[in-house]
Amino acid sequence: MDLQIDDLTVTVDGRDLVDRLSLMVPVGEVVGLVGPNGSGKSTALRCVYRALAPTGGVIRIGGDDIRGLPLHDSAQRVAALTQQGGADFDFTVEEVVALGRTPHKKGNEPLTDVERAQCATAMEQMDVLGLAHRGIMELSGGEKQRVLIARALVQEPSVLVLDEPTNHLDLRHQIQLLGHLRRSGLTVVVVLHDLNLAAAACDRIGVLAEGRLVASGAPRDVLSEQLIADVFGVSVSVVSHLLTGDPQLLFALTGDDIQPRVGSTRR
């Protein structure tokens, strides 16, 4: 299913956290949201997985307005990894992953053999199968993150929403995760702070600044030196990746490349 966001607005205490955001995520594409801290990325995602009701606008999944869907139905369509995702109780890894099947079950209905196999496959894909009987609270931050991603995959969503999924992950697992997303066939919207990873992993990128979408398109069309300077207040050199041709941002840690952001006085 595709995801369509039309004129999404979220206003809190008279301040527009998201300002008339419109974004289309076609079936099977990976679309990344990037932007400075506080630009509205996570707020927009919360509206997609219905943790937050927008002030205005419409979100459609497969053409259906999510406001008209029962929560059980929207949970079958959309799985989310949030920044605050975690487990407050010391479930085992396999128990946490199995929770992803909840939208497809009734009451305390046990998992079928097929569903147990699905859980094992997801754990294997996220490299946590060997941790299946460990308590979730015993794990490192990166291990927990991979468990929660496996839980989202087991949900079998049509749309996968990921808020900074590479947090805590080492380089190998970052590449493994983003490569899996590219191959999954799912409709994916993902918030990433690493612009080079976003360029490599995403079919299209939406750039947010102060709640507004200021640019959208293929990474090579969006990630320009001027846009990075305007939105992030950083001078970079953009080069082509030697193997893939994807844009890659080069910068130096001298402090000389920091400059005022356009519109930075608004907040």
Predicted TM-score (pTM) of the model is 0.90
**Whose CA is closest to 80, among 188, 179, 202?**
188
Residue 105 per-residue DSSP state = -
The tally of CA atoms less than 13 A away on the side-chain side of residue 184 is: 28
The predicted-structure confidence for 99-141, as pLDDT tens digits, reads as follows 999 999 988 899 999 999 999 999 999 999 999 999 999 999 9
Domains of the chain: 3-266 (3.40.50.300)
- Say how many C-beta atoms besides its own lie within 10 A of residue 242's C-beta: 7
How far apart CA 29 and CA 46 sit, in angstroms, is: 20
The predicted-structure confidence for 130-175, as pLDDT tens digits, reads as follows 999 999 999 999 999 999 999 999 999 999 999 999 999 999 999 9
**Residue 146: CB partners within 8 Å, gap ≥ 6?**
126, 127, 128, 169, 173, 177
